[in-house]
Each structure stands twice: as C-alpha cells, then as structure tokens.
Amino acid sequence: MNKEKIKAYNKTHYQENKEEIKARQKAYRQENKEEIKAQRKAYYQENKEKLDANSRAYYQENKEEIALKVKAYQQENKEKLNANSRAYYQENKEKIKAYNKAYCQENKEKIKARQKAYYQENKL
C-alpha cells in the first residue's frame, strides 16, 4: 500500500513540475559530463556480455524493421552520409590505402578467382 502511494505521489509530482525537473536534469548533466561518461563506461564494461546479448536478441527479433529504418534514414540523409564518407577518407587516406594494399597481397588468389568469375559471367 505504501509503495502505491509513493508511486502515485511521484507521478503527480513529476506531472506538476515536469519543466523544472527536466531543467535540473539538464543542468546536472551539463555540469557533470565527465562523471556521467565515466559511470556509463563503467556500467557498460561491467555488463558488456548482458548488454551485447540483449542487443543481438533485439536485432534478431526486429531485423526487417531495423533494415527498413536504416534504408529510410540513408535515403533521407544521402548528402550527409556521402560528406561524412568523403571526410573520413580524406582524414584516413594513407591508413585505408595501406589496409587495401595489405589485403590485396594476402588474398591475391581469392581476388583473381573473383575477377575471373565476374569476367566469365559478364563475358568481358
């Protein structure tokens, strides 16, 4: 009975003081950014396995819905995504080139087989 009264009070108190509470929360978050970041990081590290399992399960249950949302977002934000890709490439050009070169050296046969199959399929 006591818990129900407390719950009801908290609900009405929040409804009556919503703007003030939100302002205080926002101010606290602004003042304690680093502390909150550290707390979230610690929580994630302590509960990594559980959180990852929950994420995988959610993704498996909602694959189609997530794919539709991603596709819609990509269509709405094409220019922004392209600009981000170009900026990332410009910032990491040497790193990307080195990675691609190393991949090509390690997988020469695989690449040749893929090219051969492509040329046969498309009769080039």
Calculate the dihedral angle through the C-alpha atoms of 66, 68, 69, 71, rounding to the nearest 10 degrees. Answer: 120
User: 1 lies in which domain range?
Assistant: 1-61
What is the C-alpha to C-alpha distance for residues 56 and 58, in angstroms, rounded to an integer?
5
Clarify whether residues 56 and 104 are in a common domain.
no
The two structure tokens encoding residue 59: 């993704």
Confidence band of 124 (pLDDT split at 50, 70, 90): low
- Claim to verify: residue 56 and residue 105 sit in the same structural domain: no
- Tens digits of residue pLDDT in 83-121: 999 999 999 999 999 999 999 999 999 999 999 999 999
Residue 3 has pLDDT above 90, yes or no: no
As a whole number of angstroms, the distance between CA 97 and CA 39 comes to 37
Domain boundary among 14, 46, 61: 61
Tens digit of each residue's pLDDT (9 = 90 or more) over 27-67? 999 999 999 999 999 999 999 999 999 999 999 999 999 99
> Residue 38: inside a domain, yes or no?
yes
Please name which of 39, 16, 43 lies closest in space to residue 29, comparing C-alpha atoms.
Answer: 39
